[in-house]
Chains A and B, each alone.
Chain A
Amino acid sequence: MENNIALSVNNLNKYFYDPETFQVLKNISFDVKKGEFLTLIGKSGSGKSTMLYVLSTMDTDYEGELFINRTKLTGKTQNELAAFRNAYIGFVFQFHYLLPEFSAIDNVMLPALKLGLKSKEEIKENAFQNLSLLGLKEQAYKSANKLSGGQQQRVAIARALINNPSIIMGDEPTGNLDSKNTRNVFEIFKELTKERGQTIIAVTHDEEFAQNSDRTIELADGELLRSE
């Protein structure tokens, strides 16, 4: 395996058994390079979210193999995977999930506090920078449940970036954003891949967003269609 591969999947198959057995992902294999900005498109129900959960190590109920940074993650325990996610993966959910009792900045700080590599002051400073970058300077100390949908989504992005993960995965990370904020997030992602060598895998329905990324792959009925 080449040294510049960030993520690779081999022969990924996944089934849902309820209400009836149904193969949602069919024999998927592909690699993502380090520093690559990859977008994933496909019709609603084609299996994009499902695949992203597998790639993010949250879903372990699949056939095939998953490697990130040349570490084989298939078969590891839940706690090992949790620690791995904390350090190497940033995730933006399709429906931005924040802890409602905490302020925006506290939400952003959580993964870094869990990782425990930096002092609290340093983490707070980084969190504030991330929020500023996403245009949320004023909202930093607001309680998460008092933010608009788009603001919450940007807080979730800021949180995904806090530990400088080697891979950032987003399930329609700009789905709730206006065009100006979408462009801003796109620029941030672009910069992270180019300047810091972080890898991005983002599901999107936004044609322009996909076209401007480094590479786009498409899912149709659980099969990988094109890989340009």
Chain B
Amino acid sequence: MMTGNTNSKIAFAHLTSRLRQTLVATMSVTFGISMYIFMNGFMNGVNNIQADLSFSTMAHIRVYNDLPEDRTNLLKQHTNPDQVINIRNAKVIQYTDGIKNSEKILDRLKKQPEITGVTPQVNINVFYRNGAIKINGVLSGIEVDSEDRLFKTSTFVQQGSWNDLSYRTDGTIIGAGLAKKMSLKLNDNLVVSTADGVTKSFRIIGIFKTTIAGVDNTKAYIKINSARQLLSENSSFVTDVQVNIRDYSKAREVADKLASSIPYKVEAWQVANGQMEATTELRNILAMAVSMTILIVAGFGIYNIMNMTVNEKIREIAILKAMGFEGNDIVQIFLLQSLVIGIIGGTAGIVFGFLISTAVNHIPFQVATLQTLPMTFYLKDYTLSFIFGMLTTFIAGYLPAKKASTIDPVIIIRG
């Protein structure tokens, strides 16, 4: 207790007598920690924006009726060498399309605690026609409310209103690119024909524009029941059930869990979008690598300065030891100095990191739906940066302190 006080007094004297070096060391910690916070906040921001953009047209999990299994090699199943088999004109004679009685599945999905939204869809490949123009596309029959809840589709509607669709059985909201290609505008008619040869005309009551041209060029929304009529299916038929969950990064796990109780294909977004998962992961690794490098560089800064302090104070260390201070006291004296530097530098780094992040978050960046550069302010990043910062300081301070504690006083005092 008494010695602890004395040691901290000596540590404090060292810190204040070399104010400039102390300041440089503190600033290197501040720099390291604020950069860590900024890098991670920015990368998380970018990841979130990408997720937001992607999940405006794609759900976290999709449930659908997969194509029947591969039957191109029917001989494979027959292994009895005594049999002779002759196959001619093989064809699939029975195959059910879509999900026939969707209520049960929808009910089951809605009961799962990790699921935040479910919407059924009837997606049909169609030809859009206007006079001589004929374009291949997807007509999406949807439930107006739940579709909007999952994908915020209403925010992409530029002309007309999303909610109008709920009371217009013959209405459709089409992509801006599609409208342009077909030379159609609001209140014109859109003629669609299905693969089975059914043709129907819809009134354009809205035009939407997402950030993905491929969607805008080919998609049109109608009410789900109108889509069922087009296919002559009953009111429980759907082609896809789109599911959103609480944490999109857990989609695989949730999909695996659901698969056991649902007799259809349950597919997590990562399966269909491997490249997006990869880029997100790579960005996270990059952010981690860069911020760790910065922290290590900051650590070297402290290490250097503490080493210099030890060299400069080597006579004083020898005197302290001659007067009876033990190795542990010396370690304490120097470790305390780096901890003070770490705590002050770390606290300043957190404040500074927050300020930099806020400033960058205000830089205009008008691309896609963005107004400014993206940024997150997660408590986790701030806490981790401080912990890593203190760890770096501790290690960077411990090595010179250990060295100081092993100094032989006679060698120094003899000169």
Within A72-97, the residues touching B (CB, 8 Å) are 78-79, 82-87, 91, 93, 95, 97
Residues in B neighbouring A59, C-beta threshold 8 A: 410
CB atoms of A53 and B410 under 8 A apart: yes
Within A88-114, the residues touching B (CB, 8 Å) are 91, 93, 95, 97-102, 106, 110-111, 113-114
Smallest CB–CB gap between A32 and chain B, Å?
20
A156 — nearest CB in chain B belongs to which residue? Answer: B319
B411 — nearest CB in chain A belongs to which residue? Answer: A59
CB atoms of A113 and B6 under 8 A apart: yes
Q: Does B370 contact A (CB under 8 A)?
A: no
A160 — nearest CB in chain B belongs to which residue? Answer: B323
Q: Does A19 contact B (CB under 8 A)?
A: no
Q: Does B137 contact A (CB under 8 A)?
A: no
The tally of residues in B whose CB lies under 8 Å from a CB in A reads 30
Q: What separation, in Å, do the CA atoms of A78 and B406 have in the docked complex?
A: 10
Smallest CB–CB gap between A183 and chain B, Å?
27
CB atoms of A115 and B319 under 8 A apart: no
Interface segment, one of B10-18, B110-118, B148-156, B226-234: B10-18
CB atoms of A93 and B2 under 8 A apart: no
Residues in A neighbouring B97, C-beta threshold 8 A: none
CB atoms of A116 and B414 under 8 A apart: no
Contact residues of B with A, CB < 8 Å?
1-3, 5-6, 9-10, 13-14, 16-17, 315-316, 318-329, 409-410, 413-415
CB atoms of A82 and B325 under 8 A apart: yes
Task: Give A44-59 as 1s and 0s: 1 = Cβ < 8 Å from B's Cβ atoms.
Answer: 0000010001001011
CB atoms of B3 and A116 under 8 A apart: yes
CB atoms of B13 and A86 under 8 A apart: no
Using known A-B contacts A53-B410, A101-B17, determine if residue A82 contacts B10 with beta carbons closer than 8 Å.
no
CB atoms of B5 and A79 under 8 A apart: no
Residues in A neighbouring B10, C-beta threshold 8 A: 99
25 A–B pairs (Cβ distance < 8 Å), ordered by A = A53-B414, A56-B322, A78-B327, A83-B324, A85-B322, A85-B323, A86-B323, A86-B324, A93-B322, A93-B413, A95-B415, A97-B315, A97-B316, A97-B318, A97-B322, A99-B13, A99-B316, A99-B319, A99-B320, A100-B17, A100-B316, A101-B16, A102-B13, A113-B5, A116-B2
Using known A-B contacts A99-B316, A101-B13, A102-B13, determine if residue A114 contacts B410 with beta carbons closer than 8 Å.
no
Smallest CB–CB gap between A94 and chain B, Å?
9
Q: Which of B6, B14, B324 contacts A85 (CB 8 A)?
A: B324
CB atoms of B1 and A116 under 8 A apart: yes
Q: What separation, in Å, do the CA atoms of A70 and B31 have in the docked complex?
A: 57
CB atoms of B323 and A101 under 8 A apart: no
Residues in B neighbouring A120, C-beta threshold 8 A: 2
The tally of residues in A whose CB lies under 8 Å from a CB in B reads 31
Smallest CB–CB gap between B407 and chain A, Å?
10
Residues in A neighbouring B325, C-beta threshold 8 A: 82, 86, 114
Q: What separation, in Å, do the CA atoms of A59 and B2 have in the docked complex?
A: 27
Residues in B neighbouring A98, C-beta threshold 8 A: 319
Q: Which of A58, A95, A101 contacts B409 (CB 8 A)?
A: A58
Q: Which of B17, B318, B320, B324 contacts A115 (CB 8 A)?
A: B324
B1 — nearest CB in chain A belongs to which residue? Answer: A116
Residues in A neighbouring B415, C-beta threshold 8 A: 95
B316 — nearest CB in chain A belongs to which residue? Answer: A99
Q: What separation, in Å, do the CA atoms of A120 and B1 have in the docked complex?
A: 12
Q: Which of A56, A58, A82, A101 contacts B326 (CB 8 A)?
A: A82
Using known A-B contacts A99-B13, A101-B13, A102-B13, determine if residue A114 contacts B409 with beta carbons closer than 8 Å.
no
Smallest CB–CB gap between B337 and chain A, Å?
13
Smallest CB–CB gap between B278 and chain A, Å?
56
Using known A-B contacts A49-B414, A58-B409, A101-B14, determine if residue A114 contacts B319 with beta carbons closer than 8 Å.
no
Q: Chain B CB within 10 Å — which of A58, A82, A86, A106 has the most?
A: A82
Q: What separation, in Å, do the CA atoms of A110 and B1 have in the docked complex?
A: 14
Q: Which 5 residue pairs of A and B lie closest in terms of their CB atoms, listed nearest first?
A: A86-B324, A116-B2, A101-B13, A113-B6, A85-B324
Q: What separation, in Å, do the CA atoms of A115 and B10 have in the docked complex?
A: 15
Q: What separation, in Å, do the CA atoms of A56 and B409 have in the docked complex?
A: 12
Question: Knowing that A97-B322, A101-B16, A110-B323 are A-B contacts, what are 9 other residue pairs whose CB atoms are under 8 Å apart, sorted by A's residue number?
Answer: A53-B414, A85-B323, A87-B324, A97-B318, A99-B320, A100-B17, A113-B3, A114-B2, A114-B325
CB atoms of B3 and A79 under 8 A apart: no
Residues in B neighbouring A85, C-beta threshold 8 A: 322-324
CB atoms of B323 and A111 under 8 A apart: yes
Q: What separation, in Å, do the CA atoms of A97 and B329 have in the docked complex?
A: 19
Q: Chain A CB within 10 Å — which of B17, B315, B409 has the most?
A: B409
Q: What separation, in Å, do the CA atoms of A91 and B320 have in the docked complex?
A: 12
CB atoms of B13 and A114 under 8 A apart: no
